């Protein structure tokens, strides 16, 4: 059964449907809130909300940065449908593309100015490592990634240092850390 609510994050109201089995079930967890409130935007281009769930990160970006094209992707078909629905009810479906994808499998290479994620730790570290280390193949120019972690952020930084020129903490709050990865 779907749930519906309006969430205000960083002063922006976002209408969201959620569903059983999806992270935060239509609500807003503290990690996602921290990432949204501290998101660094590229000056232009296309961005990706990777493992988007209900699409809240991508929808927030589309609402506040109308000049950016936003891709959202998830391996879960239910999440993809909810992200599409949520983009439509927030009137950003004209600036968003929602793709069903196992990490980057169905996404273009060298396209994204930035990639954002609250990665699904339940998927395991092999998936998280792919999310981090395959990122450079999909970033354009001086693109970057911002991921938020509660657990395992040390490992996420260590993995990032193998795959990027820089990986470091940009913000820490509520037991969460935002890790930024730069080419």
Distance CA 63, CA 46 (A): 14
DSSP assignment letter at 75: S
Domain ranges of the chain: 28-182
User: How confident is the chain (183 residues) per 10-residue block, as mean pLDDT?
Assistant: 87 88 66 98 98 96 98 97 97 98 98 98 94 98 97 96 98 98 98
Q: For residue 164, give the nearest of 139, 105, 46 by alpha carbon.
A: 139
Closest to 85 measured CA to CA, from 115, 52, 112, 113: 52
DSSP state of 28: -
Residue 2: its pLDDT value, please? 76
pLDDT of residue 4: 86
Return d(Cα 55, Cα 71) in angstroms, integer.
10
- pLDDT the model gives residue 28: 85
CATH topology of domain 28-182: Rossmann fold (3.40.50)
């Amino acid at each position: 059964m779907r749930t519906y609510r309006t969430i205000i994050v960083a002063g922006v109201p976002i209408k969201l449907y959620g569903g059983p089995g999806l992270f935060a079930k239509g609500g807003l967890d503290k990690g996602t809130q921290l990432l949204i409130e501290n998101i660094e935007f590229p000056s232009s281009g296309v961005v990706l909300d990777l493992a988007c769930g209900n699409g809240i990160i991508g929808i927030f970006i589309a609402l506040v940065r109308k000049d950016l094209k936003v891709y959202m992707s998830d391996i879960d078909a239910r999440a993809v449908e909810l992200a599409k629905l949520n983009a439509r009810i927030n009137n950003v479906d004209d600036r968003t593309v929602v793709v069903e994808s196992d990490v980057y499998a169905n996404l273009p290479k060298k396209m994204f100015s930035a990639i954002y994620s609250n990665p699904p730790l339940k998927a395991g570290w092999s998936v998280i490592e792919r999310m981090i280390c395959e990122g450079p193949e999909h970033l354009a120019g001086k693109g970057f990634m911002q991921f938020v972690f509660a657990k395992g952020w040390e490992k996420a930084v260590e993995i990032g240092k193998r795959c990027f020129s820089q990986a470091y903490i940009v913000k820490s709050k509520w037991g969460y850390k935002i890790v930024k990865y730069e080419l």
